[in-house]
Amino acid sequence: MRILILGGDGYLGWPTAMHFSARGDVVAVVDNFAKRRWELEDGIEPLLPIPTLHARVRRWQAETGKEIELHVGDICNHRFIYTVIERFRPDAIVHYGEQPSAPYSMQSREAAVYTQHNNVVGNLNVLFAMKRFCPQAHLVKLGTMGEYGTPNIDIEEGWLTVNHNGRTDTVLYPKKPGSFYHLSKVHDSANIEFACRVWGLAATDLNQGVVYGIDTDDTCKHAELRTSFHYDHVFGTVLNRFLVQAATGRKLTVYGKGGQTRGFLNIRDTIQCVALACDKPAKAGEFRIFNQFTEQFSVRDIANKVEAAGKRAGLRVQIDNIPNPRVEMEEHYYNAKHTKLLDLGLKPNLLTDAVVDTMLDTVRRHSGAVQPATIMPTIKWKQ
Ligand SMILES: NC(=O)c1ccc[n+]([C@@H]2O[C@H](COP(=O)([O-])OP(=O)(O)OC[C@H]3O[C@@H](n4cnc5c(N)ncnc54)[C@H](O)[C@@H]3O)[C@@H](O)[C@H]2O)c1
């Protein structure tokens, strides 16, 4: 297949590009390096420095003999993305190229407007480019489980059949997202559904849970092929933050009561799910939605897992409940369906003690690079 990866310099985009390239697909990546600028704005760095995308593409070729085509540009510039898609003619477009952080989007009016402009307009440009140059291609779009929020009923995979006043219809599942970032993904989903229904495009929306993990088979091939590991309060996800806190003798900072429950998955399973979606595409006119996670945990569960891993490693780990900077339910019902990717053949890599121990060990080996000042949350939802 010819696979175009948008956001190919990112945490998930780069390992995905290597995965498809390794198995023999023709791969092109697009990025405008916006993430590197957001990091600079807040004085944040991943735990280990990440070589430039150009250097990683060269290293990949040196290690494997395989070429990844690289395009530098902004998806919000429709001329740029039109040109890339017209020339490359993808069979599948994997769209990771968005601002991915809830706290980033909540820090100011500018950041909220920027996030929604970047994500919604970029995604619209991709839809218009597909309609014009490759209407048979399949869009695999990364959404988030955070689109649903935490409703007091079971979360279905994208669609809900409703009986109302004696009549029945199937509608997009009602969304109650928790940040301007999550809202941008809801808007994307509505735009993609419209493009499939009206233009006949084929798309899969992957409502992804929180991803953890440092390595994939391909990132391990050379130090220059690694992907980013963020533990800071803007881009770091909860398990990463707790591991860094445990490794550096700091208390694990649980926001509020810690009963916030979410879906989680290993980075290896992100790649597996995206590959399954590409290999078994949606049909023309179909808007397919999968809930992409393998297990659900509360923040307290994750803290307990890291505390236990710390004990096994001979560390003294303490848990601290700090005021929650977010506005979210801290104890709630959560039961999200996630069978469609399993039906396609997903073989989950679960968050076992061995996985937590290996991640903690890696973080401890690099704990000298930790910037403690970037861990505590400074962005508040209501200020
Ligand atoms: N990592 C997670 O836990 C997680 C969970 C759910 C959903 N997602 C979604 O998956 C996708 C990838 O996440 P990630 O963690 O790899 O994020 P990331 O920030 O590491 O990667 C996104 C990449 O897209 C690029 N990008 C952003 N806007 C662009 C634009 N306008 N033009 C060109 N490139 C642009 C960035 O420079 C960055 O390299 C995002 O859409 C995110 O919302 C991630």
Residues 173-187: tens digit of each pLDDT = 999 999 999 999 999
Alpha carbon of 5 to ligand 1 centroid (Å): 11
Residue list, ligand 1 pocket, CB within 6 Å: 7, 9-13, 30-35, 74-76, 96-100, 118, 122, 142, 144, 208, 210-211, 228, 237
pLDDT at position 188 is 98
Q: Render pLDDT for 41-54 as a digit per residue (tens, 0 to 9).
A: 999 999 999 999 99
Average the pLDDT over 3-8 and give the result.
Answer: 98
pLDDT at position 367 is 97
Catalytic position from the list 144, 227, 237, 374: 144
Q: Is residue 202 part of a domain?
A: yes
The pTM score is 0.98
Q: Is residue 360 part of a domain?
A: yes
Q: Is residue 33 part of a domain?
A: yes
Q: Distance of alpha carbon 317 from its chain centroid, rounded?
A: 28
Alpha carbon of 95 to ligand 1 centroid (Å): 8
Q: Is residue 37 part of a domain?
A: yes
pLDDT at position 28 is 99
Split at pLDDT 50, 70, 90, the class of 273 is: very high
Q: Please say if the pLDDT value at position 383 is more than 90.
A: no
Q: Distance of alpha carbon 241 from its chain centroid, rounded?
A: 16
Active-site annotation holds for 144: yes
Split at pLDDT 50, 70, 90, the class of 14 is: very high
Q: Is residue 222 part of a domain?
A: yes
pLDDT at position 372 is 97
Alpha carbon of 12 to ligand 1 centroid (Å): 7
Q: Is residue 217 part of a domain?
A: yes
Split at pLDDT 50, 70, 90, the class of 295 is: very high
Phi, psi of 319 (to 5 degrees): -110, 135
Atom number of ligand 1 nearest to Cα 212:
3
Q: Is residue 301 part of a domain?
A: yes
Ligand 1 atom 20 nearest Cα: 10
For residue 168, give the CATH number of its domain: 3.40.50.720
Alpha carbon of 165 to ligand 1 centroid (Å): 42
Neighbours of 40 (CB within 10 A): 10
Q: For residue 160, what are the domain limits?
A: 2-374
Average the pLDDT over 203-229 and give the result.
Answer: 98
Spatial CB neighbours of 257, under 8 Å, sequence gap ≥ 6: 300, 321, 330, 331
Q: What domain count does the chain have?
A: 1
Q: Render pLDDT for 74-125 as a digit per residue (tens, 0 to 9).
A: 999 999 999 999 999 999 999 999 999 999 999 999 999 999 999 999 999 9
Q: Is residue 87 part of a domain?
A: yes
Structure tokens at 122: 């970029």
